[in-house]
Amino acid sequence: MLKKLLLSTVAIAFVATIQPAEAAESRVLKRIKERGVVNMGHRESSVPFAYIGKDGKPIGYSMDICNMYVDKIRKVLKMPNIKVKHVPVTSQTRIALMANGTIDMECGSTTNNLTRQKQVAYLAVTFITGTKLASKKGSGIKEVEDLNGKAISLSQGTTNEKAIKRIMREKGLKIKIVPVKDHPQGWLALETDRVDAYATDDVLLYGLISKSKNPDQFQVTGRFLSYDPYGIMVPQDDSKYQRLGNVLLADLMRSGEMLKIYDKWFNPGPTGINMPISSTLKVAYEIQALNRHRWGTAASPNPSAPPSTMWSVTESRAPSAWPRAS
């Protein structure tokens, strides 16, 4: 049941990446060509998706994907010298900066959902996670109900915030919410005992624990309170630009290169997260690679191009690099 629910969530997110109509020219590619720069929005503390490395530059799983996206843009525009401008974003600013054209892509840990699809678009699903709780060991907190009469820190403008508030309404829980602007603030509130728990996506909680001063003091507990497929965020209503990224991802997923990128950051990863890929994410990779034909090819982005130039969706064989999902 859990896997079916997760995959149905992925399916909703995936369908939104398929754009049936295409303008003659991509406005995003046009502005990138004119200025010679890609404005890459990124998170600064979403470990291991996008965070600041020891050299002061953003690194991570999503950053690797976005850097490959930029390389694809350089090839399509035949402009190998296109530069990248890194633009830090937060959970509160990322949607607005994408919608107003400040950034050309957002590389972090952003959930693809129906509400956000009214303002922005997404590439194919690159990760699947969900809301859980982090607390100190020995606190007695195992589920959200255990927080009744206690305090929790929540990053504003996130699906995690919405999930907690929804459950509070449904169950009549009286939990004090301490709003924070980002993960470091939320985690600091937990470390300094200003709150009893911090809620965000489970993979981010493991990342925060792995980078904390005393990781053995903390635990991730409880059931999933939401199911969240991540995707690279891009501007709305530019199917040619969106398709360029989706073709890249489909090729990475089909070849097995996506698994290598995943293992680099998660298994065990530079911060020691040690999260082998789930069977659900493997299935998501397979489904999206099989739909490569919907996006055409990078050289010929026409969705109705002859099947002879594309990988047919009727081909049932998964790439040999992938173990079959259970």
Residue ranges of the domains in the chain? 2-129+227-309, 131-221
- Residue showing tokens 């009214």: 118
Residue with tokens 């929804």: 166
CATH code of the domain made up of 131-221: 3.40.190.10
- In this structure, are residues 120 and 233 in contact, taking their beta carbons and an 8 Å threshold? yes
- Let me know: does 91 contact 184? Beta carbons within 8 Å: no
- Residue 66, pLDDT above cutoff 90: yes
- The answer on pLDDT for 194 being more than 90 is yes
Which residue bears the tokens 């829980």? Answer: 173
Judged on CB neighbours under 10 Å (0-12, 13-18, 19+), 168 is middle
- How far is C-alpha 260 from the chain's CA centre? 17
Q: How many CB atoms lie within 10 A of CB 6?
A: 22
Task: Indicate the pLDDT class of residue 306, thresholds 50, 70 and 90.
Answer: very low
* 157 conformational bin, left if phi > 0, alpha if psi -120 to 50, beta if neither: left
Using 50, 70 and 90 to split pLDDT, how confident is the model at 296?
Answer: low
Q: Which residues pair with 128 in a beta bridge?
A: 229
Per-residue model confidence (pLDDT) at position 312: 24
Please compute the mean of the pLDDT values over residues 249-255 and round it to a whole number: 96
Comparing 28-32, 77-81, 89-93, the range with the smallest average pLDDT is 89-93
Mean pLDDT calculated for residue range 75-95: 96
Mean pLDDT of 112-135: 95
Peptide bond into 268 cis (omega under 30): yes
Look at the alpha carbons of 238, 244, 248, 253 in this order and tell me if their dihedral is positive or negative: positive
Q: Residue 303 has what pLDDT?
A: 31
Mean pLDDT of the chain: 86
As assigned by CATH, the class of the 2-129+227-309 domain is alpha beta
Quick check: do 2-129+227-309 and 131-221 share a fold? yes
**If you average pLDDT over residues 51-59, what whole number do you get?**
96
Q: Which of 226, 212, 318, 190 is nearest to 272 (CA)?
A: 212
pLDDT for residue 117: 93
